Structure 1
Amino acid sequence: MDVVDLCSELNDFTEAALEAHLSGNQQCSGPSAYRCEECGDSIPEARRQALPGTQHCAPCKSALENLSKRGLR
């Protein structure tokens, strides 16, 4: 493997990681919030357990994803 091949592989990996990060497809990890960062309502325990690291309630997450798809957030 030469330097050109190595750089190409690293560039492909970097682009894929950036795309995954920007698309929001990466799963969060860590402690979940007890209250939604957007509206302040409590996040149900079932959601907190199912999605570790969640910071938003289901309605706010859905609204934020819709805004993101439109390019508004």
Structure 2
Amino acid sequence: MAVGWSRDGAVQDQIDATVESEIELARKRLPTGESMANCQECDAAIPEARRKAMPGVRYCVACQSELEKKQKAETLYNRKGSKDSQLK
């Protein structure tokens, strides 16, 4: 079924592209390497249980929460910023 100016299946293609983009973004945000003993932001001690559960952790829970809030606010905009990503 054609919708507006888009071709058949274009809506599903947009959904798939958005999901793939978010998965890629989430993978990039995963920490890697050795965990830090102190928070990179506030220098508070990071509990050993957190360091074991999340290898490569760089922030305490409070700072990580704030960072994620900021990142979420940034992703509320148009995925690519182009008119092609705004299917009608």
TM-score (norm 1): 0.62
| Residue aligning to 1:56 | 59
Partner Cα separation in structure 2 for residue 45 and residue 34 of structure 1: 8
Q: How does 1:17-28 map to 2 (within 5 A)?
A: 19-23=22-26, 27-28=30-31
**What is the aligned length?**
58
Alignment of 1:1-73 (within 5 A): 16=20, 19-23=22-26, 27-71=30-74
Residues 32-56 of structure 1, C-alpha deviations (whole Å, 9 max, x = no match)? 0011111110100000000000000
Runs of 4+ in 1 over 4 A off after TM superposition: none
Distance in 2 separating the partners of 1:24 and 1:59: 21
| Structure 1 unmatched runs, 5+ | 1-15
**Amino-acid identity (%):** 40
Distance in 1 between residues matched to 2:55 and 2:63, nearest whole Å: 16
Higher helix share: 1
Structure 2 gap segments, 5+ residues each: 1-19, 75-88
Q: Rg bigger for which structure?
A: 2
RMSD: 2.8
Q: Which has the higher contact order (CA 8 A, sep 6+)?
A: 2
